[in-house]
Structure 1
Amino acid sequence: MMMRRRSLWSLVSLLCIMVCATPAAICQTGPQAESVSDPGSYPVEANTIGINYGQVADNLPTPQEAVLLIQSMKIGRVKLFDSDPAVMSALANTGLQVISALPNDGISAVASSSTTAEQWVQDNVLAYYPATDITTIHVGNELWSQPGFQPLWDQLMPCILNIHASLTYHNLSQAIKVSTAVAFNALAASYPPSAGVFSEEIAVPYVQPLLQFLSETHSYFYINAYPYFAWAGDPAQIPLEYALFELDSSSSSSSSSTASTTSVTAAGVVLDGHLKYYNMLDAQLDAVNAAMEQLGYGDVRVAISETGWPTAGDPGQLGCNIPNAANYNRRLVTKMLSTSSSVLGTPSRPGIFIPTFIFALFNEDLKPGPGTERHWGLLYPNGTNVYSIDMTGQMGSFTFNSTSSSKAPNLTPASRNNPLNDLDPPPPPASSIFNQFPGFDISCGSSTMSSRSFKTTTTFTTVRAAFNLLLQQPANIPLTAARLLEFFFPLLLLPLTITAFLFLSIHLDSLQ
């Protein structure tokens, strides 16, 4: 009987441990895994995804609220387009890695004066660092893509060098790198990827000096890469599946892995010599890698400063809808945060982690241009999700319905290209927050419930899922309140556990 009692006590103790484990503890993903690094001198990167935080809108949350949302989504990096004081202060002591920026209109002044550069560093770096973990400063954005910026081309490198010199003076040049963000159209050719080359107008006079600096300082070449634009520009020739990471790596297994020519298989896979490309983003990145090698700087590593997919647009803008955007970004995160060396990196540079920033955090209603410009956000301005996404990369895109979203049903292949699908969808009301994620726990990164079985799961499991949803929505439910609920949850169940133990103990005594 004593042995039976010890077994019972062990069982009940285990039950107590399971009950007292809070939802947040269960959902902890552990320390951020470090990724595989190339043999060069680039630092080993934390295995986290980044987000572009823009503010070209008149209806966004405060910076403090926006930062809480970023943290709740398990994002590890934030890229800004300036050094807004309110945002920089809100990012302090959060653990988020930050890319701040000197906008295009500030380049001339900083390029022409080391004193001005020192003052800029004082005001925009030293005033916040190290509380705000600034890891990189971007000097300008897409300078080589618009003729109106051509007067700044000659000033880019002097500006970069002046800022770097100031950081060096303050012993920060190792901790804070300097670079710029380059649009993909800086390449004159990108197909096949091995033929990638920069535009002749900028290659030697402008790109080469930048690459020399990046090589010497072990800084990344940041590229704004958007498969959406390439596909939308030629949807008849480019399969949508190729742009959306939907081609299976086994789909061309019958093709020769030692092909010596460039071709496209029936499944849409691009063969470039001995390399196979199952998605357009890999092809774009390797085109950039090839272009850098052409200029003699194959050691410089690439990072993605912007990528994403729009959820809506104007009539005539193809494929911009919630299901396509959800599929693209879910699979992007899964690929970029993979711990498998066969998935990490690109065909020409396998096994190397690529820092990636999704564009963007919010839909921004004041951005000029076509309708797609205002519909790249993962969140509506009120903080609710445009579609569900796991930013830890642990869930895997297969866990989601292939085209599921908070409001859109599955679309037929023809309707996936319809620009009127999900055109400017309204944000869901705060009261519908528990209806947005019927089939999975977004914060845990794993699926234990299907939408079919959600209503028949135990109360214990359902309550845990509800708590996780509370923690994912700080804009609608105060974070402090959620934490209090999370704390008291196990205390409510503890009396039930003790009662069950006493009942079983008395019952066993009566059997003696």
Structure 2
Amino acid sequence: SGIGANWGTQCSHPLPPDTVVKLLKDNRFRKVKLFDADYDSLRALGKSGIEVMVGIPNDMLPSMASSVKAAEKWVAKNVSTHITTNYVNIRFVAVGNQHFLETYNVSFLKTTFLALQNVQIALIKAGLSGTVMVTVPLNDGMYESSTGLPSGGDFRADIRDQMLAIFKFLIHNNGVIAVNINPFISLYTDPNFPIEYVFFDEKATPIHDGGKTYYNMFDANYDTLVWALNRNGFGNLPITVGEIGWPTGGDQNANIEYAKRFNQGFLTHILGGNGTPMRPGMIDAYLYSLIDEDAKSIDPGSFERHWGMFNCDGSAKYQLNVKFVDRKRCVMKPSAKLDDPHAAPSVGYDCGLAVSTGHG
């Protein structure tokens, strides 16, 4: 368990992967979640000690679903090779991402489960099923509450059968469910949503549900999922929070003040180890996101390009108590070359935002 970060790469001028790994390590992120299996990103993560979740993009699910051989080839190239040759600590394979968004085509419903099965078969054949687990990252729109309270939680009727089949498979294969929870979206889509309830400083009017009291939206949302799992016989399925965060631009509520308040509040909340009213204990989570992605589609909203805790050039937007280290004197190591195309972005990161007493 612990805190991780999502590493998206849709930047017009992406940082060198080695620099991003340094960013993760300097700020004590022990885990990282990728949306694909980019070779250079994974190579840079080798011997870093950082636990890695690699992703299979949604557009690859049909081929994975139709062919075990395709899944075996993908696992060999993107998991086995990196573990054995590059010493990457790959612990999870995420099969797709947010397949059941209502805006997505129903075709994902038909392929997700088959792809999940074939990837697990490929991991078993590769001798990795004991150390690498499968997961399915889902959005919180897959469950709802008939009462408006967590205890009314259940899965959407149109996808319930598919969800239960996936959960049964994950339980049988020691997998986990990854849920993306984004309170910002609730505020974005509903101007009357009580803004204080999205934060963690207990300034909102709490919600009472039986003997449980909810002071923030995250706990209530998470426990709605817990109730849905319990109601369908999967109360022991492990949950990880695959994405949670706050953007800094593109909307009146997307700003640095709110982003810092939300992310710091969330970190303090879960690192306390108290969990939620229905699931006490440490919560596993990945902040969304490490770095802005200025090349992302803005169809959902202009805020989509501004989820990062860091700008595209690696400079920090705000300070968080994970460990954003103080500025220090920066010197390039003697072997560094000024004409190296990676040197300028790396120096921009090392000297402009955080730390270094020697580059590299």
Same fold (TM over 0.5): yes
Give the SS at the match of 1:482.
coil
Answer yes or no: is 1:268 the counterpart of 2:205.
yes
**After the TM superposition, which of the residue ranges 227-236 and 474-483 deviates more from structure 2?**
474-483
Check the 8 A contact 1:69/1:473 in 2, yes or no: no
Answer yes or no: is 1:337 the counterpart of 2:212.
no
Mapped partners of 1:468, 1:287: distance in 2: 49
Which residue does the alignment assign to 1:246? 201
Which residue does the alignment assign to 2:232? 295
Mapped partners of 2:131, 2:329: distance in 1: 35
Q: 1:62-111: CA deviations, max 9, x gaps?
A: 11111111111111110000001111111111000000011111111111
Amino acid at match of 1:108: P
Which residue does the alignment assign to 1:161? 117
Which residue does the alignment assign to 1:189? 145
Give the SS at the match of 1:93.
coil
Q: 1:354 to 1:150 in 2, by over 3 A?
A: same
**After the TM superposition, which of the residue ranges 383-392 and 69-78 deviates more from structure 2?**
383-392
Amino acid at match of 1:50: G
Check the 8 A contact 1:80/1:98 in 2, yes or no: yes
Answer yes or no: is 1:57 the counterpart of 2:11.
yes
Which residue does the alignment assign to 2:295? 366
User: How far apart are residue 318 of structure 1 and its match?
Assistant: 3.6
Mapped partners of 1:245, 1:287: distance in 2: 18
Q: 1:480 to 1:294 in 2, by over 3 A?
A: closer
Trace 1:2-151 onto structure 2 (pairs within 5 A): 45=1, 48-130=2-84, 131-151=87-107
Q: What TM-score do the two structures reach when normalised by structure 2?
A: 0.88
What runs of 5+ residues in structure 1 fail to find an aligned partner? 1-44, 249-266, 393-441, 444-464, 485-512
Mapped partners of 2:356, 2:53: distance in 1: 31
Trace 1:216-231 onto structure 2 (pairs within 5 A): 216-231=172-187
Q: 1:65 to 1:152 in 2, by over 3 A?
A: same
Of residues 297, 311, 315, the one that matches 1:380 is 311
Q: 1:244 to 1:194 in 2, by over 3 A?
A: same
Of residues 344, 356, 378, the one that matches 2:285 is 356
Which residue does the alignment assign to 1:475? 349
Question: After TM superposition, which residue ranges in structure 1, 4 or more long, deviate above 2 angstroms?
Answer: 146-149, 188-191, 231-236, 465-470, 476-481
Answer yes or no: is 1:320 the counterpart of 2:254.
yes
Q: 1:473 to 1:345 in 2, by over 3 A?
A: farther
User: How far apart are residue 480 of structure 1 and its match?
Assistant: 10
Q: 1:300 to 1:474 in 2, by over 3 A?
A: farther
Give the SS at the match of 1:143.
coil
Give the SS at the match of 2:106.
helix
User: How far apart are residue 377 of structure 1 and its match?
Assistant: 0.5
Mapped partners of 2:153, 2:196: distance in 1: 22
Q: 1:204-255: CA deviations, max 9, x gaps?
A: 2x1001110121223221101011111333342x32221011216xxxxxxx
Q: 1:340-386: CA deviations, max 9, x gaps?
A: xxxx21101112x2210111111111111221101110001111101
Whichever of the two has the greater Rg, that structure is 1
Mapped partners of 2:327, 2:244: distance in 1: 32
User: How far apart are residue 297 of structure 1 and its match?
Assistant: 0.7
Amino acid at match of 2:171: S
Give the SS at the match of 2:40.
helix
Mapped partners of 1:375, 1:466: distance in 2: 24
Amino acid at match of 1:299: N
What runs of 5+ residues in structure 2 fail to find an aligned partner? 332-345
Mapped partners of 2:224, 2:144: distance in 1: 10
Trace 1:401-412 onto structure 2 (pairs within 5 A): none
Trace 1:383-402 onto structure 2 (pairs within 5 A): 383-391=314-322
User: How far apart are residue 113 of structure 1 and its match?
Assistant: 1.1
Mapped partners of 1:187, 1:146: distance in 2: 12
Mapped partners of 2:153, 2:265: distance in 1: 25
Amino acid at match of 1:111: A
Amino acid at match of 1:198: F
User: How far apart are residue 298 of structure 1 and its match?
Assistant: 0.9
Of residues 116, 128, 152, the one that matches 1:172 is 128
Mapped partners of 1:149, 1:179: distance in 2: 21
Mapped partners of 1:160, 1:218: distance in 2: 13
Mapped partners of 1:137, 1:468: distance in 2: 39
How many residue pairs match? The answer is: 339
Mapped partners of 1:174, 1:346: distance in 2: 29
Check the 8 A contact 2:223/2:277 in 1, yes or no: yes
Mapped partners of 1:195, 1:172: distance in 2: 38
Amino acid at match of 1:330: Q
Give the SS at the match of 2:137.
strand
Q: 1:473 to 1:361 in 2, by over 3 A?
A: farther
Mapped partners of 1:154, 1:61: distance in 2: 37
